[in-house]
Structure 1
Amino acid sequence: MSTTDVTVLRTPRRRRDATLLTVGLFAAIASAMLPVFSVIAPGPWVAGAVFVTAAVLGAGLLVRVGRLPAAVASIAEIAVGIVLLTAIFGRSTALLGVIPTPATFGSVPDLLAAASEEIRTGVAPVEAQTGLSFLLVAAIAGLAVVLDHVVLTARMPLLAGVGLVAVSLIPTIAIPSDIDIAGFLLLAAALLFLLRIDTRARTATAPPTRSDAPRVRGVSATALGVAAVAVIVAVVATPLLPQPDLRFATGGTGGIGTTINPNLELGNDLRQPREVEVLSVRTTAPTAPYLRAVTLSRFDGAVWQPDSSDTVPVPAEGAVFDPVTVAEGVTVADYDTTVTVDQLDSPWLPVPYPASTVTGLTGDWLGMPQNRTVVTRAGSTREQVYEVQADVPRPTLEQIRSSAVGGPALDPSLTSLPDDLPAVIGDTAREVTAGAQSPYDQLLALQTWFRSSEFRYSLDAPVESGFDGAGVDAVADFLEVRAGYCVHYASAFAVMARSLGIPARIVIGYLPGTASSTAQQGGTEYTVSSSQLHAWPEVSFEGIGWVPFEPTNSLGVPTNFASGSGSGGSATTDTPDQDAASPDAQPSTAPSQADRPDLGAQDGPGVSAGQGSSTTWLAPALVALALVLLLFVPSVVRVLRRRRRLTAAGAGDPVAAWRALQEEAVDLGIPASGAESPRAFAARLTSDHGVDADDVGLLRAAVERVSYAEDAVDPASGPALVAAVARIRARLRAGAPPARRLVANLFPRSLVVRSGAVEADRETVGS
């Protein structure tokens, strides 16, 4: 049988395998995109992505069926993708509606800017508009071009599978949710299909002998069995394993979880769509208390820093903090609160203020007397159940109005502000508080102003206006836009109070929970969700202590004190430590996530945050590690391919040995064209690169016999073929400059530049 006859017989199989690989690749890309629906809502962009991807892959298939060079396939795919993207998104500036012009390309930055804005301000699942739709369709089409080259030209479907799995994981990492079982099964099936077709195509290039057929079938059956078991284990067994703890991502990175952010970087996490119950509270207080976790007193004009001061161990029994001291005549109420933590994983312990005794904790916990907060260096709040006894000062309106703010022992930093404080902050503070007769009246005026109709609660306005922060510049912008969330209200209130000489700090903790039962013996029970993580300001009054205020519009309970006249000196106090919505001291429901305005269709965005500034190095370190590992991926892939070639050569396959030689040459920058015969290539290696004539002659003669004389593979010749390849490789590398050898190791060109094939009729796809 002649070479021409072999080519004719194998052409149908080559075309069929190329078609099957293309179809499998399309299915794999579609499956990998299914998790995107949890982040981007399905819409017209899906149809566009499906159509453009199918057209791109189809163009590449037509080129390959026509036996044109692989580079032409990639060029044709890129051209088809550009034409279709132009027809869909740039008709108004294109010739005949499909041919892009300079104006068409000039519109791309605007589309990408629009997409970036949609991503930045949108809430998952985002409704894709024109900009985001363009980005999605173009990205998927580009992915199709790259993977088509990897699968059909470079013939590395496993590498393509790794890329597709990574793509499918990105939406799940961004918005954690239940596993998409259907998507996983489809992707697994598509990748296994690609591997099977590619393996069959490679086997077809060197038909096995009759004795080898049972072994090949056995290997295929074993591989399919292993794949089936792996999929079954992933789908059935994995959900039965213990689930990892939920954690909030660090501020500014988004994410879902249950911890407490000490850095006021709450914006991105507030916009997350998932809400979970973090803890429950049972209290003898007439209303649910605010639960404080972290106080922030130091302010440099840009960042509020969490307090760090001397600590004392929390004893198993007895008081951890000194008794509350108040001025003569101020009433102190004693309340007991039991906190049961569910999905809260934080080193800061939520406690009512001002706590005196904390019992029932497991692990080593420390108290900060300066602010009566509790923290651990190694443990967590997860599954803690503890009791807190708090002595709450209850001054009358007359008492707090007559009290001075601060005190001689107070840290001067509590009133410090940067020298470059925007004038609008101090001017506005003085304007709003004009006419106030006491510091308390000034603070009450500020609180009333922030909670008036001049302001609105908004998660999106700070992002849209570019001031999503807590520094003085963000405060100035907030006072102009007058829309934001708790971080902006608390920071603005504290900075304006300091501008009036009043010591103020910020507290991070939880809003009062939602009543889950009626009043009964032992107190009322409340549930607290992740969406109720909150920030509010506090001000220090002599003889009373730190008094919380609630400036956040439409949330929480505003602070005000009742007059003590006619009540024998006792007063009903409506502070953020109580629920002012129930002046008769009956339990009531604190604001829940449903009460938050301006949230659109969000389903309970939780305020999430990171483990603190101590872990901010983790993300850059992981990125650096990933980049280092990525640097060695080509080298590892090349080593695996060389090992595969030499294994086949050791079994007596001269074609594999010759292909190994060609790839070594390509890596070192030596051309190995398919238009050059084995005899000419061997002669060039001998004359130009000093290769031993006997070694290259052995390989050349063997590949010519099996390619043209149709000699059977001789396993006995395997060791000689491998030894010859090893000696030639050593000679070629010895003659190459050190820089060339380094590049050949790290970035082997043979992975992307295909070496010439002397047995063209034995190539399955990508010729």
Structure 2
Amino acid sequence: MSAVQNPVEIARERPKRSPRRTRYRLRVAAVAVCLTLMCFLAGAVAARVYHGRLLVLLVAGAALGAFAIGFALRNRPAFLAPSASLLGLAGYLLGAIALTADGADPLPVTVVDALVNAVPRTLTALIPVEPAPDTVVVPVFLTWLAATLACEFAIRYGRTLLGCLPPTLLYAAGLYLVGPNADGGTWSALAFCVLAAAALAVTAAPPERRPDRDAVVDGPAPSKAPALMGAVITTCVLLAAVAVLGPAAARFVTASPGDPREYVEPPQLTDIDLNPLVRIAAWSKYPDQELFEADTSGDSWMRLAVLTEYDGTTWQAAGDFRTAGTVIPGSGEANFSADVEIIGLGGKLVPAAADPATVTDLPIAVNLTTRCLLTPDGLATGSTYHVESALVTADPAAAETARPDLSDAGTVAVPPATPEIMATIADYVRTTYDTPYERAQGLADFLAQHYAYNPEAPSGHDLPALGFFLGSPADAGGQRGTSEHFAAAYAVIARLIGLPSRVVVGFEVPGGSSTVTAAQGSAWPEIAFEGVGWVRFDPMPPPDAVPVPPEDTLEQMEEETPSPEEDSGGGGEAEDFNDESLEQDGDFNEELGREAGGIPVWAWYALAAVLVACVPLVLKARRALRRRRRLTRGGPAERVAGAWAEVLAAAARAGVKVPDHANAEESAARLSTLEADIGPLPRLVNAAAFAPQAVSEEDAVAAAAIASEYPRTIRQQVKRWKRFLT
């Protein structure tokens, strides 16, 4: 039996740990840490367009988990690490899906749906994207894959430069996914570059054998000071170049990054949803049809569609639908709720009060322009959902004094070849009422008083159909229609007046629990006012009202309304300088002679000649005083408007008359036939009309100079007798 060894001797017999091997292991650990952080930063790029911080935590866990598995199995057979990483990815994705699921569907169904629809829903989701099973799968999967490849290349095979490639590609993919919808993330990009440089620097003198824990390095340790010093210097130079040249290079970049969402087809509408106005006719004929049950917290108008674009044939909604989660960004604080169960309402459009803030129990897409809702799978009997909205309310008192909101040109665009009856009604409303709100309400009153509701009226809201509705006699089927005809006709005529309009299709839903039928479905017009928003107007006639034939009111208007020359008081420069007293018969002088008794007849002839000779002088003096009044009195906006009136008056003297309903651009196009420059006057006129506070004193002086020079420029184009007399 051998003697027991001394512990000191046992310690002496143990192999001493090589300092070189320790440094080697520290270097491998440093590379692993740098690459793990690089994968995390690359995966977190996509989180810039996501709501909250949940995706950041998920990609951080994916980068750490994938690298931990690869690092732990770096010395095992090559097939073992990828297999274990695949199992880890499956488990991690299952946990991420379960964490973000709402529990509405069984977990297997949610997993399959998320995996199948991950890519298209990630690209079509409304920004900021809500973390959901189908929107977190792609970032988590790519982060895990990048970390696994980076660990294999850099740790197992000792190729650090090749190991930096997967996180770099992931970073580029994240930037492409974000597109122009977030900031550039300068600091994260700089940190990513520093980590890559650090990973390369610590492996500047790689071992001759593969980097595993049993690597044996023989021979004297090579000097790695020059290589390490070179890596540090190179990194510092690159960072300095980025700091100095980066801002300068950014000034030369004028193009915005491409958005991949533009290449993904958004959720598609069915035929009945593309033109929802056609539903009105069916609802009017079958008013007892049950559409859905609603339990609401108060009375509301639940919108189905908002239509802003009209091409003369159909009204359509502007913008595309984007997939959204339960939270719809851009809405205020919810103060209204509704629980809805579908009965007979078909299509994909989802009823909701404006503006919806949250929707649960139903997959939703949101129109980016109108904020209406759509469900990609379509509504079916028994479908239920809960919607909370931030009710949009307009202040009628503020609208009465507000200007029309002309910020969106699409809401005032009028298709060509509008029926003459529409222009006639627009002229009547424009002549009868003064303010924009009065005209909007006056138009609604005109339609309600002169037209009747007929549930049997055939569907149609193209220009010929609206012309028939407005202008055909009642005994021929005209002047009768549904809310489709009233709303569509109102919106087109409002645009002729200069009011931005749109058509809304929806339902009037009382508070509490009720069954919404087709009788509650209708269409109504809305007008946009600055600082107020969209205001609803009702052009529908009261029940059992007897309409007044519209031709009676319009013909009376034509008889009472003076001609443009008389109405403007010479504003069109077509002054009536013929005194009625000068248009008597030939016995005028004899009658004067008899009344005067002893005054000679020749004196009256001389007086009449003097008076006639003074008419041109009086008219010229009147025109000069009017010009001075227009160009010198009032604020800058009023003087710009006066200068515009002077230009139009001068053009009228030259034979170019501009209709009253023409806007500044249309008027400028007509004035261009005179070949005289009016400079920036049309732009100043628009500013004076719609933003008078933006017109400065310099603008008014420039407009006055143009108005003063314009008559002299076109003087030769005015007929001689007009130049002499006026």
Question: Whose helix proportion is higher, 1 or 2?
Answer: 2
Place the TM-score, normalised by the shorter chain, in its bin: 0.3 to 0.5
TM-score (norm 2): 0.36
TM-score (norm 1): 0.34
Q: Which one has a bigger Cα radius of gyration? A: 2
Greater relative CO (CA pairs within 8 A, separation 6+): 1
